[in-house]
Structure 1
Amino acid sequence: MKKSLITLAVLSSLSVGAIAQDYQAGDLVVRGGVTNVNPNSDKSGVYVDALGGNTPLSLSVDDNSQLGLNFVYFYDNNWAIEVLAATPFTHDITIHDPQGISSGVFNVNVDGATLGETTHLPPTISAIYYFDSDTAFKPYVGAGLNYTIFFDEDFKKAPKSLGFNDLSLDSSFGYAIQVGADYQLDDNWHLNASVRYIDIDTEATFNIGDEIKGSADVDVDPVVFSLLVGYKF
């Protein structure tokens, strides 16, 4: 009986040790799951030459969730390089007009209307540092660079009927920071959760009719939440 208890204790310690094992140099991790891009709630002012420059009009961007992917390569048990990817995110762009200026210009108040939408890809590469851990919980921090590409920008049908056209958003280059953690389920599989901030600033330009030009400096600056399942090769 005593021998059986000793054997069980040894096997249990080996099992825990396997789960708690730190990452090693050369490990490659692939993750997939849900990623939510939540832009900041600040509204961006709109500049229109024909309305005297700066206007009370403003724009905001809503959030969107997509399939998130990332790939992590370990240089040692602490340091790794992570590449963040995802399926394209599509965001509605809302126009705000608290003073009703649009009523006199378009004969209708567009406050709160969905002006248009844009799709983007935010590939991000980061250096991440895993803290030493003797448990299945593996916390880390990271910092890196982001390049966001906007495409398929377009106005909705109603704004088009008012003369809005040629919506365009510039690509953005900025920094990214994050905190996250893995929870090891076994030698290969783990759950991952992370929160990151990405510096995304873009200039939106558009036309109203054939001659009126407008623009807005949009600070997207989203908080990005990810809940993923990972596999270590």
Structure 2
Amino acid sequence: MKMLKAAAYVVTGVSLSFSALAYEAGDWIVRAGVTQVAPDESSSVVSVNGDNGAALGTNSGVGVDNDEQLGLNIQYMLNKQWGVELLAATPFKHKVNGTGDLAGLDIGEGKQLPPTLSAVYYFDTGSAFMPYFGAGINYTVFFDAEPSDSLKSALGASKMKMDDSIGLAVQVGVDYKINTHWLVNASVRKIDIETDATIDLSNGDRVDVNVDIDPYVYTLSVGYVF
């Protein structure tokens, strides 16, 4: 009987400890860590002077490389299972290169910030592992786009522009609660990002391409609950 009582106390204590780790309405969660943006891109054919111009090869296109930066997010819990999260980061910098008929061509580079607002739902596991699913909207701001030196010298490229993007975002992730305040987090997002890129040439022509960047965004971070 004493052993059964002791076991019951242990189970109750574990249950209470897991309950203490659960989020509550009004909790704020701040996370910081490493975020990688890995484009899953595709593009239109690269053309001169838009739809009415000439294509630069029937299989021409562009690719965008990966980048890693400091990822930040803040989340407010509406109740034990639902929260609202804002994703931010230091600016990501991506190189743009030719593909297909333009393979090996250094086109340029640009920076972007992808703030994303999501609703997040936590699954009740009764443990320190707290998996969640999120969905929301992303607005990506492109800036400091610049054609490469080789494009400047070969074609007289003077200016490169990448349009801002708005699209949907989904994510899956997990928090592991170390104690009532500290946690570690891992998440994967898929974000719908599309941009029209243009490069002005010295002869008055304009190079155009539409790029679906659609990156996977991977994050490892440490968080604190207020």
* Structure-2-length-normalised TM-score: 0.89
| Equivalent position of 2:206 in the other structure | 213
1:14 partner SS: helix
Partner of 2:86: 83
In the alignment, the residues of structure 1 paired with residue 88 and residue 189 of structure 2 have an alpha-carbon distance, to the nearest angstrom, of: 13
**Correspondence 1:1-233 to 2 at 5 A:** 6=6, 10=9, 14=13, 17-19=16-18, 21-49=21-49, 52-56=53-57, 57-98=60-101, 111-162=103-154, 163-233=156-226
In 2: Cα distance, 1:140 partner to 1:130 partner: 4
The answer on whether the counterparts of 1:140 and 1:179 sit within 8 Å (CA) in structure 2 is yes
Q: Deviations over 1:159-214 (max 9, x none)?
A: 11011221000110111011111011111111111111111011001122231111
Superposed CA deviations along residues 129-161 of structure 1, whole A, max 9, x for unmatched, are: 011121111011010000000000001211110
> How far has the Cα of 1:11 moved from its partner?
6.7
Unpaired segments ≥5 residues, structure 2:
none
List runs of 5+ in structure 1 lacking aligned partners: 99-109
Q: Is the 8 A contact 2:71 2:219 kept in 1?
A: yes
- CA deviations 1:30-89 (Å, max 9, x no partner) are 000000001114344211149942332311101101000000100000110000000000
Query: How many residues in Structure 1 have an aligned counterpart in Structure 2?
Result: 219
Counterpart CA distance in 2 for 1:204 and 1:16 is 55
Q: Aligned-pair distance for 1:29?
A: 0.3
Q: Is the contact made by 1:19 and 1:187 (CA closer than 8 Å) also made in structure 2?
A: no
How far is the alpha carbon of 1:114 from its aligned partner?
2.1
1:19 positional shift: 4.4
C-alpha RMSD over aligned residues:
2.2
Alpha-carbon separation, structure 2, partners of 1:199 and 1:27: 29
Identity among equivalent positions (%) equals: 43
Asked if the contact 1:22–1:133 (Cα under 8 Å) also holds between the matched residues in 2, the reply is no
CA distance in 2, matches of 1:52, 1:196: 37
Match of 1:105 in 2: none
Q: Report the CA distance shift for 1:12/1:114 in structure 2 as closer, same or farther (over 3 A).
A: farther
Partner amino acid, structure 2, of 1:53 = A
Separation in 2 of the partners of 1:232 and 1:15? Answer: 21
Q: Distance in 1 between matches of 2:75 and 2:103?
A: 44
CA distance in 1, matches of 2:114, 2:205: 31
Q: Is the 8 A contact 2:183 2:222 kept in 1?
A: yes
Structure 2 contact 31–224 (Cα < 8 Å) conserved? yes
Q: Distance in 2 between matches of 1:158 and 1:171?
A: 25
SS at match of 1:151: strand
